Amino acid sequence: MSKLALAGAIVASMGFGLASSADAKVLTFLDGDIFSGVFGNSNIALGNFSDTLAFTLTAPSSFDKFLLGSSATSSATQLGKPGDLNFTSVYISGTGGPYNFDIINNDPTDNWTDKASFLGTLDPGSYVLHINGYSYGRSQYGGNTTTTLVPEPASWSMMVAGFGLIGGALRSRKRAACRFA
């Protein structure tokens, strides 16, 4: 349990801040077993836009990777009119990157929503989330990022071995014979 508390303290202290865009919000993480935060930009002017968000992932020695899920969405009432935008590229640069997001613009099955999403593992290190697109004026997007620590293989093997020992002990335990008269 103390490793989980240490991991929580380290992930909660991750530094998140804006790298260049004055309009985007600062990503703030909430404490718990899974750490999540929100980001976004509103009232984006007509034309191309580019937002960046810098962050660092730091892990204790018993964890070697992070599972990161992130998505950004925007929806419009009219396509190609003020309030609409299209994502052109969304990716994370940094250690081992780039990590590209899957992008779906103007999804007719989901009320013409624009979506960019990513799910994958990242090593501890410094990263920058890049969000690029085209705005038809007065548009906005919002997103969230969720991280959780992934234990290193030695931790998993010790856990599996422990379950095996417990199962073996339960199986080999002598059972009391029950006799009826």
96, part of any domain: yes
Q: Residue 100: give its domain's CATH number.
A: 2.60.120
Question: 78 burial class (0-12, 13-18, 19+ CB within 10 angstroms)?
Answer: exposed
178, part of any domain: no
181, part of any domain: no
> Which of 9-23, 59-73, 96-110, 161-175 has the highest mean predicted lDDT (pLDDT)?
96-110
**How far, CA to CA in Å, does 87 sit from each of 5, 30, 50, 164?**
38, 27, 10, 49
Q: What is the dihedral of CA 48, 126, 69, 79, to 10 degrees?
A: 0
26: domain range? 2-152
44-59 per-position pLDDT tens digit: 999 999 998 887 777 6
Residue 127: φ, ψ to 5°: -140, 160
167, part of any domain: no
CB atoms within 10 A of CB 65: 17
| One-letter amino acid for residue 46 of the chain | L
Residue 7: φ, ψ to 5°: -60, -40
Contact between 83 and 138 (Cβ < 8 Å): yes
Instruction: State residue 3's pLDDT score.
Output: 40
Q: How many domains does the chain have?
A: 1
The angle subtended at Cα 105 by Cα 103 and Cα 108, nearest 5°, is 125
Q: DSSP code of 29?
A: P
73-106 per-position pLDDT tens digit: 888 778 888 888 999 999 999 888 899 999 998 8
- The reply to whether the predicted model has a pTM over 0.85 is no
How far the first Cα of the chain sits from its last, in Å, is 50
174, part of any domain: no
Q: Which is more confident, 149 or 34?
A: 149
6-30 per-position pLDDT tens digit: 333 333 333 333 333 344 334 544 4
162, part of any domain: no
Q: Which tokens in the block code for residue 22?
A: 């004055």
